[in-house]
Amino acid sequence: MNKIGFQNFRRFDNFQPIEYKDVTFLVGRNNSGKSTLVKALLLIIDYLKSEDVRIFSFSKTNIEDVNIVTYGRAKCKNRPDDNFIEFELQFDDLKIDITVTGKEDSTNIDVRSYRISDLSSGLIFSLDPVNSTISISSISQIAENKPSESEFLLIQLIEKESDLKNQIKIIEDKLSEDYIHANNELKNLKQKIKTIRASNRKNIINKDNFLLDTHYRNVVLKDILEEAIGEFSSEYEMQYHDIQKGKKPKKSFENLKAFKDNKFKIETTVSELIKKINQTTTVYLGATLNKQSALFAIRDKSNGLAQVIHEYKQLGIDKEPASDAFVFVKNWISEAGFEIGESFEIKMHAGEAYEVVVKSNGIEIPLADKGMGSIQAMLLILRLATLIHKKQKDKKNYTIIIEEPELNLHPALQSKLADLFLYVNSKYGIKLIIETHSEYIIRRSQVLVAEKELEIPPNQNPFCVYYFPKGLNNLPYDMGYQSDGIFKKNFEEGFFDEASSSTLELLRLKRQKQA
């Protein structure tokens, strides 16, 4: 199960988590929020892979396509008084919650809380990157996927405490009313936090449940978690030996004992978490309008086809005619695929540019002469081939996000894209998220569901379609395939019914003229 949700981000003040499947289509009107989901996913994955838990960035080169740049542009305009953005991502039983905040013009902003919950084991790892503290706990409520109200309150108070500390730092006059008031409020907050933490400990501690917290020195997630586990283990050993010598157990020992009993489970969860983060690779393939160029310059960073041709050559795929990636290209450019040609060849010119020649019926034709539809299809096929090749080499879990793959393709070939995506997922285990306005792709997916009985057990339908309706307060909904391929829900009026509406209007006008 993979889910994503967020609050106070872009056009959505509260985007409830939705599940994305193996092949997920995002459809809807322009400016309905499809790209907001994509941007959120790219930002979260980039943060999880970063080397500093304190910083959430909108400006890293590998997420240029997000095109948000500043915190002010990221924050939802419907909640001007709320200065926090919250993200939620779930990989199977691992749920990750991140809260960030910053100044309007900041590209790198502060992470206020970073929470990892293992829904299967009940473990929670809560980081406060501002104050460099971490807590590890095992709480029964996590089994219901519902943290307690006191936990939420504790997070809010800790965030407020951090804000007050920052305010106090910039007050120059230590005798001013502002300083005295802020300082008193800070003392009260600290007391509330202490009380809630004590209450939480009292309510949850037993042989399976515990709550421990400490400061950490590192900034990389893996190092922070290992440091905390090591520190708690050492503290347990020290107290255990003291007790063996006859000393009275400290209040924290009961927690430490529960931690020790659950240490293997904790280390297993940490190992699984780090493994999932390291193995997750998300690639964004933006919509690209390519020119009909005879030559593709290696250094042309603005030409998506030039860059993927160069990558294809650098990976040596053209030298491995038996490889999956090479065969994939050959099959999908054929008449049975996207009708580009029987085969192709990439020729180097003066070490500076490539020429792509398509071969059909013994005739060589430059790709540039095949038309924009063939160029666009070739771009997508080569992109997918390079990713297939990489996945087979690095064994990672790939999710490919594709924006409007139907550009310049005629209806029959737009339909063929649904077959292509199903093949890539079923053959190579690559997940796809596709932003599209193409009715032909969606309708073909319905045919495939019915034809291949994908909704009939034991089959598992890899397709899902989320429709993004118009209106700021309207959230996307899953269309839901039935066993016959028909959707359980309807598209919004004025979307995929536009063609039939125009046909009916023509018939009405024709009858009107004949009358």
Beta bridge partners of 379: none
Residue 89 to residue 183: CA distance in whole angstroms: 36
The amino acid at 164:
L
* Claim to verify: residue 240 and residue 139 sit in the same structural domain: yes
The per-residue pLDDT for range 198-250, each reduced to its tens digit, is: 666 555 444 567 889 999 999 999 999 999 999 999 999 999 999 999 899 88
| Cα 220 → chain centroid | 20
Split at pLDDT 50, 70, 90, the class of 509 is: low
Query: Pick from 343, 359, 393: which residue ends a domain?
Result: 393
- Give me the DSSP letters along 434-478: EE---HHHHHHHHHHHHHTTTTSTT----EEEEEE-SSTTPPPEE
φ, ψ dihedrals at 344, nearest 5°: -150, 165
Does 242 fall in a domain? yes
Does 469 fall in a domain? no
Beta bridge partners of 114: 98, 127
Among candidate residues 215, 46, 40, the one with its CA nearest the CA of residue 130: 215
Q: What percent of the chain has pLDDT over 70?
A: 88
Among candidate residues 379, 171, 204, the one with its CA nearest the CA of residue 290: 379
pLDDT of residue 301: 78
Does 425 fall in a domain? no
449 CB neighbour count, 10 Å cutoff: 25
Q: C-alpha angle with apex 92: 267 to 485, nearest 5 degrees? A: 165
Write down the mean pLDDT value for the chain: 86
pLDDT of residue 141: 43
Does 429 fall in a domain? no
Q: C-alpha angle with apex 90: 89 to 91, nearest 5 degrees? A: 130
Residue 388 to residue 401: CA distance in whole angstroms: 14
Does 403 fall in a domain? no
* Claim to verify: residue 86 and residue 206 sit in the same structural domain: yes
Of residues 288 and 454, which shows the higher confidence score? 454
Query: Pick from 260, 281, 302: which residue ends a domain?
Result: 281
The per-residue pLDDT for range 45-90, each reduced to its tens digit, is: 999 999 999 999 987 644 555 678 889 889 988 877 778 999 999 9
- Give me the DSSP letters along 191-203: HHHHHHHHHHHHH
User: What sign results for the dihedral spanned by CA atoms 236, 242, 243, 247?
Assistant: negative
Query: Pick from 281, 302, 330: which residue ends a domain?
Result: 281
* Claim to verify: residue 324 and residue 214 sit in the same structural domain: no
> Average of pLDDT values for 34-51?
93
Residues spanned by the domain of 295: 291-393
* Claim to verify: residue 262 and residue 339 sit in the same structural domain: no
pLDDT of residue 431: 97
Residue with token string 């030298």: 319
* Claim to verify: residue 148 and residue 257 sit in the same structural domain: yes
Q: C-alpha angle with apex 156: 153 to 160, nearest 5 degrees? A: 135
* Claim to verify: residue 259 and residue 309 sit in the same structural domain: no
Q: How much helix, strand and coil, in percent to the nearest 5, is found in the chain?
A: 45, 25, 30
> Average of pLDDT values for 389-402?
95
Of residues 9 and 156, which shows the higher confidence score? 9
The per-residue pLDDT for range 96-130, each reduced to its tens digit, is: 999 999 988 888 999 999 999 998 888 999 999 99
* Claim to verify: residue 269 and residue 370 sit in the same structural domain: no
* Claim to verify: residue 274 and residue 295 sit in the same structural domain: no
* Claim to verify: residue 245 and residue 336 sit in the same structural domain: no
Residue 350 to residue 354: CA distance in whole angstroms: 9
Q: What percent of the chain has pLDDT over 90?
A: 54
Residue 433 to residue 65: CA distance in whole angstroms: 15
Residue 422 to residue 320: CA distance in whole angstroms: 24
Does 303 fall in a domain? yes
Q: Do 266 and 123 form a contact (C-beta atoms < 8 A)?
A: yes
Split at pLDDT 50, 70, 90, the class of 501 is: low
Residue 422 to residue 235: CA distance in whole angstroms: 53
The amino acid at 484:
D
Does 504 fall in a domain? no
> Average of pLDDT values for 261-275?
94
- How many structural domains is the chain composed of? 2
User: What sign results for the dihedral spanned by CA atoms 172, 173, 178, 180?
Assistant: positive
pLDDT of residue 200: 61
The tokens describing 374, both together, are 């063939």
* Claim to verify: residue 296 and residue 240 sit in the same structural domain: no
Split at pLDDT 50, 70, 90, the class of 414 is: very high
The tokens describing 123, both together, are 């473990």
pTM score, whole prediction: 0.83
* Claim to verify: residue 39 and residue 142 sit in the same structural domain: yes
Residue 479 to residue 466: CA distance in whole angstroms: 6
First CA to last CA distance, the chain? 59
> Average of pLDDT values for 348-365?
87
* Claim to verify: residue 73 and residue 164 sit in the same structural domain: yes
The tokens describing 160, both together, are 């407020």
Of residues 117 and 497, which shows the higher confidence score? 117
Does 362 fall in a domain? yes
Q: Do 62 and 46 form a contact (C-beta atoms < 8 A)?
A: yes
